[in-house]
Structure 1
Amino acid sequence: MDSIFSFLDELLRKSIMNIMEFKSDKELRVLNELYNDKRVCVRFWYRFYKKQRIIKTLKFKKRRIINELF
């Protein structure tokens, strides 16, 4: 479990570094606070993962329905 969190932590840090040049100071402060607060980070990634799963499920269902029509 620790390895998952460390991986997500590293991923978040890299993504913050990548988008730094495109964000305003206020947004950077928010991102920095997110990065510093591990619980928020974990919740963020959980919601992100859950949203991705829902999108993937909906796409699959849509494809299945389309396939059944033909």
Structure 2
Amino acid sequence: MKWGNGIFKLIIWIIFSFIFISLTYAGRPRVLSVTMVPPSPNFGQVVTVTIEFCANQQPAELAI
């Protein structure tokens, strides 16, 4: 019965390893900085928002 238990542990280890590697490779983008010019706009004034982020190899979408 020890042989079957070892195979079960190996299969579980492979599944968790695959999930972990997949999550680290396809992680969400990390926002490094957000700036707004002018910093305190009046109502109706045009602003420019700049977002600097660290993305992975796939294109990312950020909701603002």
User: Which structure shows the higher strand fraction?
Assistant: 2
* TM-score over 0.5 (shorter chain): no
Larger Rg belongs to:
2
User: Which structure shows the higher helix fraction?
Assistant: 1
Q: TM-score, normalised by structure 1?
A: 0.41
Structure number with the bigger relative contact order (C-alpha 8 A, sep ≥ 6) is 2
Q: TM-score, normalised by structure 2?
A: 0.45
